[in-house]
Amino acid sequence: MDSSTSTGFIVESLTRAIVEHRLEPGAKLAEQKLATQFGVSRTLIRQALFHLSKNRLIRMEPARGAFVSAPSAAEAQQVFAVRRMLEAGMVLTFMEQATTEQVSALKAHVAQERKAMEQGDVRGCTLLLGNFHVLMAQLLGNDVLAHLLTDLISRCALITLMYQSSHDAEHSHQEHASIVAAIEAGDKALALARMDTHLHNVEHALTPP
């Protein structure tokens, strides 16, 4: 089967559309329309939608179909609580194991964030800001953690769209740069504090319903 018509490709494409805010919370995902768009059977579309529902990116409603999830403020708080727990350990492990080249890779990623902002690439910047966290897990070679963070950050994209009054990309970018600076300096306490502050700042920017 052509990779462009596989279930995995469809899942990835729809996930990216959600993360980039091209599919908004509550949007209906019509099977036939998607089948036509991807040039595949409705069976493949159903398989992809089922996978997305397992990750809670969409919800399946009997007799109504599939819709992009609209997470509650309570769920938003839970997602960020999980991220803080996971990423605290990740920062410490990264500092214990990371090579100079891996730290340089993080710095290069932060430079990409800056470039995307300077070019006014909102979608690209949104992806890069989320991928900063996933990249750290990937550099550690921890695929399980990378996949967990990918799923959580995908859900954060929905939460941000629904509840954040204004997404301050510049602030997030500066915080990423400060985290990398602390890592490069070998200051574990500072790196951990800056990551925790960063995630709290993102969470606190959310406006409750």
Q: Which 3 state secondary structure label does DSSP give 22? A: coil
- Residue 67: strand pairing partners: 28, 59
pLDDT exceeds 60 at position 9: yes
Query: What angle is formed at CA 75 by the lines to CA 198 and CA 46, rounded to 5 degrees?
Result: 115
66-125: pLDDT as tens digits: 999 888 778 878 888 999 999 999 999 999 999 999 999 999 999 999 998 888 877 678
- Residue 68: strand pairing partners: 58
Whether residues 22 and 112 share a domain: the answer is: no
pTM: 0.74
16 in a structural domain = yes
**Number of compact structural domains in the chain:** 2
Average per-residue pLDDT for the chain: 87
Which residue range(s) make up the domain with 194?
73-204
Task: Write the CATH number for 147.
Answer: 1.20.120.530
Whether residues 78 and 175 share a domain: the answer is: yes
